A and B are shown apart, each in its own frame.
Chain A
């Protein structure tokens, strides 16, 4: 085998390697963790939910908002941020069709409120807003709203 033939084989090998590496990179870019690592978004959403679900009956405005987003009145201990990948995966599978994006392209913040979930994908903004939805415990969407 001539040296020229060897160089051709090496070049082909390198090209194939490059193509495979590139493809793998693309696959990786299209799949993101199901749970968002955005702690600011987590705190913000949880704080907003807490403010609503703990509203006293005398605060008609907050109560009305709570009702409008279909959340129950509960104690603070019943509000939590979900970081389990399995729940986040279910949540983003439910949210993604509403947003019109592939589920694997979004990471979500999930706040559990008794038998409800409030879900948003912080990176999926629409203008200044983050579309946010309230789901049942079976992840059936009941309300969507700007946030």
Chain B
């Protein structure tokens, strides 16, 4: 018995339900690029798109190639089709087993993939917008109009309108943090990864996998990642500086996040920035970039930089200050804006050895016999620290010296802390 007898025009709204049917395993090339056949690191070419299908054409329309692994795809069907059955002719059951009518649209369209199972999604009453539908798809996928199958050929209706199948591959991102970023001695560090989003559509799990990988600064030593399973949290012992990578595959797409862990192998100075080996290394790199062995003035350049702390994680990080006008005696770089972070130190270089002769500063001639006064911030250096409310640190050949903001001008000389480079490469606080 027909569940719905059409008389006259009927209006159908196509919804998020989908049939997934088998088809041949053919192309590995989707409309957005090439998809690798196998392997965890394959790229998923399909991102999002749509095709429009106009009944009564029942030819498959290429939708996308989602690759060799299942990926979660959001599907949406929109459109309005007006079916006009022959007058007085009711429809009965669809011989494929689904009713035709009752506001549902089974049998009207299909999504075909390589070997996906048939699945009937929810259907809605005419005129209602369906919620997003999520399907695991892989391989080449086509969309097609199947059309209601009438009992008799003479009952073939006529159609007007079309429908559009939209697809959006679910994307996610991974993050990884540590509970400590700088260690003063070997110790345990807990790494925590997160997937965002973990679920979509009110509870559909986004597929992912994670693999922890350790890259030491210097070869040798144990592999802390060996203690880490394929889980989002890993606690392991770190004994030397290096980088822990969280290698994700999130819904078929490979991505990686790095977590830098610095282990201080020098005696502590008591200054948290100086006791960060990455901070010292960056200062030394900046000094090298300033070419303190270069000619004066043209061969040397002050190099500015800044260090910040991530407000959410506490991670210290360096932010360069681009400066294309610096010379051997000044820099003019602006102060960066770093949302979500707090400035910690303003840094720059004085590319000199203590008491080295400086005949010129840029194009300006210095008094004959002028020598570089070591470990002494200039007035602009103090002002810069004051303006940004942060400590300043300057590196010269053989020494780093730091100074706080807010020091009265008459007390500046007594408020410079000096750290002299030792033969072993460490810096020792001078009394």
Contact = CB atoms under 8 A, between A and B. Distances in A.
SS class of chain B's interface: helix, strand, loop or mixed?
loop
A68 interface: yes
B378 A129 contact: yes
Residue among A65, A122, A126, A130 with max Cβ neighbours from chain B (10 Å): A126
Contacts of B38: none
Interface in A31-62: 40-41, 43-44, 46-52, 58-59, 61
A143 B371 CA distance: 8
A128 B375 contact: no
B410 A147 contact: no
Contacts of A145: 370-373
Interface residues of A, number: 35
Given A47-B410, A51-B413, A144 B374 contact: no
B371 A144 contact: yes
B430 interface: yes
B412 A47 contact: yes
B409 interface: yes
B330 A128 contact: yes
A100 B365 contact: yes
Contact of B378 (A52, A98, A100, A147): A147
Contacts, number: 98
Interface string A72-102: 0000000000000000000000000011100
A127 B364 contact: yes
A128 B378 contact: yes
B182 to A, nearest CB: 28
A144 B355 contact: no
B414 A47 contact: yes
B369 interface: yes
Nearest to A95: B367
Contact of A59 (B375, B378, B431): B431
Interface residues of B, number: 37
B40 interface: no
A22 B380 CA distance: 35
B140 to A, nearest CB: 65
A111 B410 CA distance: 13
B425 to A, nearest CB: 20
B409 A144 contact: no
B410 A98 contact: no
A131 B370 CA distance: 8
Given A126-B362, A129-B361, A99 B355 contact: no
A69 B376 CA distance: 13
A126 B410 contact: no
A44 B379 contact: yes
B394 to A, nearest CB: 10
Nearest to B364: A126
Interface string B407-422: 0111111100010100
Interface in B365-418: 365-376, 378-381, 408-414, 418
Interface in A101-147: 122, 126-133, 141, 143-147
Contacts of A61: 375, 418, 420, 430-431
Interface string B332-369: 00000000000000000000000100100110111111
Contacts of B239: none
Contacts of B376: 48, 146-147
Contacts of A69: 373
A65 B381 CA distance: 20
A98 B358 CA distance: 13
B378 A51 contact: no
B375 A144 contact: no
B329 interface: yes
A99 B403 CA distance: 29
B327 interface: yes
Contacts of B366: 126, 131, 144, 146
Nearest to B327: A127
Given A43-B408, A44-B379, A51-B413, A99 B372 contact: no
B370 A146 contact: yes
Contacts of B372: 145-146
A46 B414 CA distance: 12
B90 to A, nearest CB: 92
A141 B327 CA distance: 27
Interface of B: 302, 327-330, 355, 358, 361-362, 364-376, 378-381, 408-414, 418, 420, 430-431
Interface of A: 40-41, 43-44, 46-52, 58-59, 61, 65, 68-69, 98-100, 122, 126-133, 141, 143-147
